[in-house]
């Protein structure tokens, strides 16, 4: 005993299309070989059963169009998946931080100290990606890439004529790569800055160090800042 065959949805659509085409064929005066022209002539191969010939031809056309549609759809789905992965990678690579020494309303100075000391910037403007730690003052690169880094240092000698030492070093993995320096006895207050682009590997640590004898002074005006962001990833 033969069991009934359940058609796939696409097969059912094709079958309905063929049935409708065949019904249409039986109601039209012209043949399928040359639509719009005279009926099929002897020797065409369809003279004996033009209905079956026309249905077979249209079924092949439906299958061809279905194959083309499926192929195109698969290609579009692959392109969409690739674009989605690229977008997710871009969104995942977002990294930017900008911090200031303090947000206290009263003016104070950090340093000078008898030994070199890392600066822990407490006021966070932005910390996209969470790479900067206010507790340690260290920024950790989440991925390899070219980063833009900037440092500003402001100091106040306290009185005219007193030697001024507003200075800070930018460290990468404990090694100084740039410095902001202002040492003189001509100004009671002054500032310095450093801006650079560096290639960092994933896991590299960037921090600011206060050299011996230097100090950073400020208040809620945010005179001392440390900032960085990823220009573009390299992997």
pLDDT value, residue 141: 95
Residues paired with residue 170 on neighbouring β-strands, in sequence order: 178, 208
Strand partners, 229: 96, 148
Token pair of 182 as six digits: 């202002």
Helix axes 50-92, 9-27, angle to 10 degrees: 140
Q: Which helix (H) or strand (E) holds 145?
A: strand 145-156
Global pTM reads 0.61
Compute the C-alpha angle 162/166/167, nearest 5°: 140
Output the tens digit of pLDDT for each of the chain's 235 residues: 444 455 455 555 555 655 555 555 544 444 444 444 444 444 444 445 555 666 777 778 788 888 888 888 888 888 888 887 777 666 667 899 999 998 888 888 888 899 999 999 999 999 999 999 999 999 999 999 999 999 999 887 665 655 667 889 999 999 999 988 877 666 666 788 999 999 999 999 999 999 998 889 888 889 999 999 999 888 7
In the CATH scheme, what is the code of domain 93-233?
2.60.120.40
Question: At a CB cut-off of 8 Å and minimum separation 6, what does 190 contact?
Answer: 154, 155, 164, 166, 182, 184
Q: What is the pLDDT of residues 31-41, one digit of tens each?
A: 444 444 444 44
User: What's the pLDDT score for residue 56?
Assistant: 75
Find, among 220, 23, 233, the residue nearest to 15 by Cα. 23
Query: Start-end ranges of CATH 2.60.120.40 in the chain?
Result: 93-233
CA angle 153, 159, 165 (to 5 degrees): 30
Three-point CA angle 167, 168, 169, nearest 5°: 135
User: Which residue reads 């003052």 in tokens?
Assistant: 137
Q: What is the largest CA-CA distance in the chain?
A: 117
Q: DSSP for 13-71, please give it.
A: HHHHHHHHHHHHHHH-SS-SSSTTSSPPPTTSS-SS-HHHHHHHHHHHHHHHHHHHHHH
CB 27 within 8 A of CB 36: no
**The residue count for the chain:** 235
Q: Which residue has the tokens 């019904």?
A: 23
Token look-up 């309303």 returns 105
Which residues are CB-neighbours of 107 under 8 A, at least 6 positions away?
156, 217, 218, 219
């Amino acid at each position: 005993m033969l069991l009934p065959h359940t058609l796939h949805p696409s097969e059912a659509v094709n079958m309905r299309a063929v049935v409708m085409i065949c019904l249409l064929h039986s109601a039209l005066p012209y043949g399928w070989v040359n639509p719009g022209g005279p009926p099929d002539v002897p020797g065409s191969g369809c003279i004996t059963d033009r209905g079956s010939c026309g249905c077979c031809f249209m079924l092949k056309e439906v299958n061809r169009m279905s194959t083309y549609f499926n192929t195109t759809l698969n290609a579009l789905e692959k392109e969409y998946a690739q674009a989605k992965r690229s977008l997710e990678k871009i969104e995942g690579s977002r990294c930017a931080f900008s911090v200031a020494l303090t947000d206290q309303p009263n003016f104070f100075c950090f340093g000078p100290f008898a030994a070199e000391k890392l600066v822990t910037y407490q006021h966070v403007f932005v910390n996209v990606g969470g790479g900067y730690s206010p507790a340690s003052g260290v920024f950790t690169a989440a991925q390899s890439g070219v980063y833009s880094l900037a440092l500003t240092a402001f100091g106040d000698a306290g009185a005219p004529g007193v030697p001024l030492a507003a200075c800070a070093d930018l460290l990468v993995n404990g090694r100084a790569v740039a410095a902001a320096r202002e040492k003189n006895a001509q100004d009671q207050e002054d500032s310095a800055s450093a801006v650079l682009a560096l290639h960092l590997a994933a896991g590299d640590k960037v921090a600011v160090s206060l050299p011996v004898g230097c100090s950073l002074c400020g208040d809620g005006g945010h005179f001392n800042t440390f900032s960085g962001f990823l220009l573009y990833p390299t992997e």
